[in-house]
Amino acid sequence: MSGRVGRILLPVFLLACVLLVAFWETRARISRGPREAFELTAADFEGFKPRRGEWWVQANATVSDDETAPTVLAYALASRDRPWVIVRLTHGYNMPDCMRLKQHDVELLEEKREPRLQVWRLFARDTDDLSVWATAMIRADDFSGTDIDTRAMPFPRVASVDGPGWTPNGITRDSLKNPIRNLKRFFRHRWNSSRSDWATFLRLKKPAWGSQEMLILVVHAYVPERGNELEADPLALTRQTVLDAHAFILAELRDWRGKNGG
């Protein structure tokens, strides 16, 4: 009796395995497909020009016209006797993890909620540059504020940072010298690439990309070196400069959206 049951269950088990592998391969093929285009792109901001006042546009950064590119605006703003600031409007992402991947130490200095505005201090380990950043998650349809923390965004959320200069090269002679360490590095890289999501890790869905519904307004400036003891604290000066620029560009965006059917 048990032999007859075994002969029946074995084909069923094998069929289930074949179907599971076929499903997995199909989902993996779909997950490798092109990214979904954003509804809001750089082309939608062709008519946006911040007014000249205390702040003026010193330079326009090149922004890709690719509809899957997350950044839709990028400027360098200048103001008299204050550090330059860099402004970027991007489909929502996890700024701290993104900069950690770029070998920066990231520290939250302060935040306010409803709407949420977060101020960060970043230190670049490769250049020793210190900078202050202000970030706010805003809605893509009307640029209104939210209470969303940028760290809650799945792209590019990571568990731990890959080692500097390390790239996955498959099985090589060097990798076999330390197989356990390199296997750990490989799986950590895969986990980071999956945005710390099991379904993505198993290639059942595409990795998270920038948000369709949310944008992040990022403003940052480098902290200048102190010239003499009579000058204001460079970090405090940079912080206030970044906050003022952030408020300015957000007001300009909202005014422009209101005049253009937002």
- What pLDDT is recorded for position 230? 44
Is the predicted pLDDT of residue 202 greater than 80, yes or no?
A: no
% of residues, the chain, pLDDT over 70: 66
- pLDDT tens across 50-81, in order? 877 788 887 777 788 888 889 999 989 988 88
- pLDDT tens across 203-242, in order? 767 777 889 999 999 999 999 876 555 456 889 999 999 9
Cα-Cα-Cα-Cα dihedral sign, residues 139, 143, 149, 152: positive
List b or e across 20-36, with b for residues whose CB sees 16 or more CB atoms inside 10 angstroms. eeeeeeebeeeeeeeee
Q: What average pLDDT does the chain have?
A: 80
Q: Determine if the pTM surpasses 0.85.
A: no
Average pLDDT rounded to a whole number, residues 13-34: 59
- pLDDT tens across 142-164, in order? 999 999 999 999 888 776 666 65
- Residue pair 93/82 in contact by the 8 Å Cβ criterion: no
Amino acid identity at 61? A
Lowest mean pLDDT among 12-26, 113-127, 134-148, 245-259: 12-26
Residue predicted with more confidence, 183 or 216: 216
